[in-house]
Amino acid sequence: MGIKTSLRPVICVVGARPNYMKMAPIIRAFKAHEPVVPVLLVHTGQHYDVAMSDRLFADLELPPPDVNLGVGSASHAVQTAEVMKRFEPVIDEHGARAVLVVGDVNSTLACALVASKRGIPVVHVESGLRSYDRTMPEEINRVLTDQIADVLYTTERSAHANLVREGIAPERVVFVGNVMIDSLLANLSKAPSASDLMTTAGFGMERLRRGYGVVTLHRPSNVDHPDTLGPIVDALRTISRRLPLVFALHPRTRANLERFGMLDKLDAPGFLVLPPQGYLEMLGLMAGATMVLTDSGGIQEETTALGVPCLTIRENTERPITVEQGTNTLVGVDPAALRDAADAVLEGGGRRGRVPEYWDGRAAERIAAHLAAWLSARESSGGE
């Protein structure tokens, strides 16, 4: 029936911004593997703006997607359902040796679910991270994807314990390191210098001499309610009097600031408000920063790899190694705590940390080697 299993592609799925930098090194490693692991790259279209998608493909030298499902924005239920409906025919048309998903966005869970129901092995990269906060949509996506995954690749050793606690067979879990850091190490030398970026954006060198901070904010729990978003922005405004802040504004956050009539809060001399940045620009900005203030997951890891102090504006993190070994401090959302934490970095220089085990630029290589062997063993034992 149909083509030989080993010639079918591994379908690799991306949907939203934080997926691209994880997928780029994996695709490169599959191509470099002997024998080559055939790939079909599917973009669900969860993110679709040039700034949130095309630009990052170019920066990361990701090949254009073979298939774009074009789902766009919608409620969680509708978005997840649309991805599922549109993804299943792709499996029918191309066949799949396995479906590989990364991270924790809605597209991750949707495609894993379709593959699992079709009896196709699900491979999850960045498994086992847990915030233990089930109000986060990503936590639901992580827990459920891991439950149905056949191979689970982890970025830090704590993930293994989380998975085993949830009843996942330990032999399915493989510690490979962090593919996001593969991308960072491969691209850092191509990143524009922060001073070039700031000058181009009209923020003179004079301001740079005192250093600057970088801000990103987009978690629904921080930005979807005026009572939370307002005080956070006020605290940032206070910090910006001591340290100029470059604020790369996510579309969700911009839309909410407009809706709440708060956009003018960013109209302060210490703020430089930018649209979502390219991957290389963001790396350049972070690498040169005095500190980064964020609620992103990936940025907690990138700042740890860069050795730049990170203040995380959340009550929890699914990436504890960044706090235990890296440069991350979990500050919470209390404005006074945020101001104090920023003052402490300005006065004491902040945490320097160290780079965790296997965050060495070779995680994708380990995945390619392991997965190729795992698939061959499975296929030769007749398990399809």
Q: Catalytic amino acids?
A: 218
Q: Is 49 in the site for ligand UD1 (CB under 6 A)?
A: yes
Query: Which of 302, 365 has the CB closer to ligand UD1?
Result: 302
Q: Is 137 in the site for ligand UD1 (CB under 6 A)?
A: yes
Q: Is 18 in the site for ligand UD1 (CB under 6 A)?
A: yes
Cis amide bond preceding 220, omega within 30: no
Compute the half-sphere exposure of residue 258: CA atoms within 13 Å on the CB side of its CA.
7
CA distance 46 to 78: 11
Q: Is 319 in the site for ligand UD1 (CB under 6 A)?
A: no
CA distance 60 to 249: 21
Q: Is 218 in the site for ligand UD1 (CB under 6 A)?
A: yes
Query: Which of 160, 219 has the CB closer to ligand UD1?
Result: 219
CA distance 143 to 137: 10
Query: Which of 45, 350 has the CB closer to ligand UD1?
Result: 45
Stretch that binds ligand UD1, among 42-50, 180-188, 205-213, 233-241 (CB under 6 A): 42-50
Asked if 173 and 160 touch (Cβ cutoff 8 Å), the reply is yes
Contact with ligand UD1 (CB under 6 A) among 3, 7, 73, 166 = 73
Contact with ligand UD1 (CB under 6 A) among 211, 251, 275, 332 = 251
Q: Is 48 in the site for ligand UD1 (CB under 6 A)?
A: yes
**Residue 378, CA distances (Å) to 6, 33, 119, 172, 374 in order:** 10, 18, 13, 13, 6
Locate the DSSP E strands across 155-285: 173-175, 213-216, 245-248, 271-274
Q: Is 242 in the site for ligand UD1 (CB under 6 A)?
A: no
Give the residue among 231, 283, 289, 379 at the shortest CA–CA distance from 56: 283
CA distance 217 to 303: 15
Residues of this chain, 270-299, that bind ligand UD1 according to CB under 6 A: none
- As measured in angstroms, the least distance from the Cβ of 41 to ligand UD1 is 18
Stretch that binds ligand UD1, among 14-22, 58-66, 93-101, 110-118 (CB under 6 A): 14-22
Query: Which of 240, 304 has the CB closer to ligand UD1?
Result: 304
Q: Is 384 in the site for ligand UD1 (CB under 6 A)?
A: no
Q: Is 121 in the site for ligand UD1 (CB under 6 A)?
A: no
Query: Which of 106, 145 has the CB closer to ligand UD1?
Result: 106
Q: Is 255 in the site for ligand UD1 (CB under 6 A)?
A: yes
- As measured in angstroms, the least distance from the Cβ of 105 to ligand UD1 is 3
Give the residue among 241, 210, 224, 222 at the shortest CA–CA distance from 296: 222
What are the DSSP calls for 270-298, one per residue? TEEEEPSPPHHHHHHHHHT-SEEEE--SH
> Applying CB under 6 A, which residues contact ligand UD1?
16-18, 46-49, 52, 73, 104-106, 137-138, 218, 250-252, 255
